[in-house]
């Protein structure tokens, strides 16, 4: 029957087929996913999990492209990109998000969480969900709480085992007023700086030290530019998996529920990686020559006591009842 169609007719059929091809190809939406640190670090393994799960469970409607190692900018720039819709997914620490969603910063109060079980229970429960629910009104969709881990101090000048030892140290912090208040109260000189600039700043002596979880300290190779590590665990550092409202709102209700579920599963993978990196990281840093001091319970209590003025500020900002609800959660 095809042979009876004229040459002109055949040409029209071919043209119609070619015209339809871009429409079929464009049916898959590509989501740009930005995060800091390498793909094998804790952010990365969670993002890779999400990439595979979305490919397998969302019927080919979406495909994720990963951009590790701050390829899309620092955490503040990526968070702004999610607001503007130029980046679809971001995993970031809470520091820059707090500039847009201030309620997230309550989680950054020093010595607020007892351990990982306490922190994860709070964030995955009603208190954590109530904070996530604040995000859409600020131009962000917060899919899930992820994790950095408990933060520790490094520096190049001296061993830090008491608040007095921290005095005068120029410590890089995130652009996070809760963190900066704590270090200022201890007598240190908090210096906010974008993470991609930190290694060279430590190398050149622009700052004396920094504070981060073990996984970050290892993956960023700070052992090359820092001598002393204090295992202070001074605060638990959560992370957030963000999505651009522009991308999220284009999804069907079922796909929205599914991507939230996948983000939570990816966060659980990141948390497992955090614990693995902590177990292995301290030994690797010690083997590389870093001088490591773990604070005793009494030494840690001395830091907490020195932060009393900061705690008074936090109570005014966040409400003592809200802080107590987190601190006393079982």
Q: How does residue 219 score in pLDDT terms, banded at 50, 70 and 90?
A: confident
For 11-41, write each residue's pLDDT tens digit: 444 444 444 444 444 478 999 999 998 888 8
User: Which CATH code is given to the segment(s) 27-327?
Assistant: 3.40.190.170
- 271 pLDDT band, cuts 50/70/90, is very high
Task: Give first-to-last CA distance, the chain, whole Å.
Answer: 76
**The pLDDT value given to residue 24:** 41
Question: 284 Cβ partners below 8 Å, 6+ apart?
Answer: 218
Give the best-scoring range by mean pLDDT among 41-45, 86-90, 281-285. Answer: 86-90
pTM for this prediction = 0.84
pLDDT of residue 16: 46
Instruction: Show the tokens assigned to 235.
Output: 């605060």
Which whole number is the average pLDDT over 81-85?
96
pLDDT above 70 (res 5)? no
CB 100, CB 137: distance < 8 Å:
no
Among left, alpha and beta (phi > 0; psi -120 to 50; other), residue 10 is alpha
Each residue's pLDDT tens digit, 179-210: 999 999 999 999 999 888 999 999 999 999 99
Q: Which of 146, 141, 206, 212 is nearest to 174 (CA)?
A: 212
Tell the residue number behind the tokens 């709480």, with chain if given.
145
Task: Calculate mean pLDDT across residues 124-152.
Answer: 96
- What was the pLDDT predicted at 311? 96
Q: Check pLDDT > 50 for residue 128.
A: yes
Beta carbons within 8 Å of 37's beta carbon, 6+ residues apart: 43, 44, 68, 69, 216, 219, 220
Domain boundary assignment for the chain = 27-327
What is the percent of the chain with per-residue pLDDT over 90, rounded to a whole number? 84
Query: Average pLDDT, stretch 242-263?
Result: 97
């Amino acid at each position: 029957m095809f042979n009876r169609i004229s040459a002109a007719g055949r040409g029209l059929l071919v043209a119609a087929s070619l015209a339809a091809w871009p429409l079929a190809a464009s049916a898959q939406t590509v989501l740009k996913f930005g995060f800091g640190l390498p793909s094998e670090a804790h952010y990365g393994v969670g993002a890779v999990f999400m990439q595979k799960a979305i490919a397998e469970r969302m019927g080919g409607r979406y495909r994720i492209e990963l951009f590790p190692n701050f390829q899309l900018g620092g955490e503040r720039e990526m968070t702004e990109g999610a607001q503007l819709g130029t980046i679809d997914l971001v995993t970031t620490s809470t520091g820059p998000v707090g500039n847009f969603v201030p309620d997230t910063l309550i989680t950054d109060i020093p010595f607020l969480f007892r351990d990982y079980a306490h922190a994860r229970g709070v964030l995955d429960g009603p208190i954590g969900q109530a904070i996530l629910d604040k995000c859409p009104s600020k131009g962000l969709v917060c899919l899930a709480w992820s994790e950095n881990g408990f933060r520790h101090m490094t520096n190049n000048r001296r061993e830090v085992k008491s608040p007095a030892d921290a005095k005068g140290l120029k410590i890089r912090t995130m652009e996070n007023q809760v963190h900066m208040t704590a270090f200022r109260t201890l007598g240190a000189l908090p210096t906010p700086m974008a993470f991609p600039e930190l290694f060279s700043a430590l190398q050149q002596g622009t700052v004396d030290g920094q504070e981060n979880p073990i996984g970050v300290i290892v993956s960023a190779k700070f052992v090359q530019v820092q001598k002393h590590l204090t295992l202070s665990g001074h605060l638990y550092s959560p992370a957030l998996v963000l999505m651009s409202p522009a991308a999220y709102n284009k999804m069907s209700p079922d796909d929205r529920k599914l991507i939230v579920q996948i983000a939570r599963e990816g966060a659980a993978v990141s948390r497992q990686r955090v614990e693995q990196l902590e177990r292995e990281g301290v030994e690797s840093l010690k083997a590389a020559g870093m001088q490591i001091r773990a604070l005793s319970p009494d030494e840690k209590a001395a830091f907490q006591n020195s932060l009393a003025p900061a705690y008074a500020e936090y109570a005014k900002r966040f409400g003592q009842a809200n802080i107590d609800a987190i601190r006393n959660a079982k």
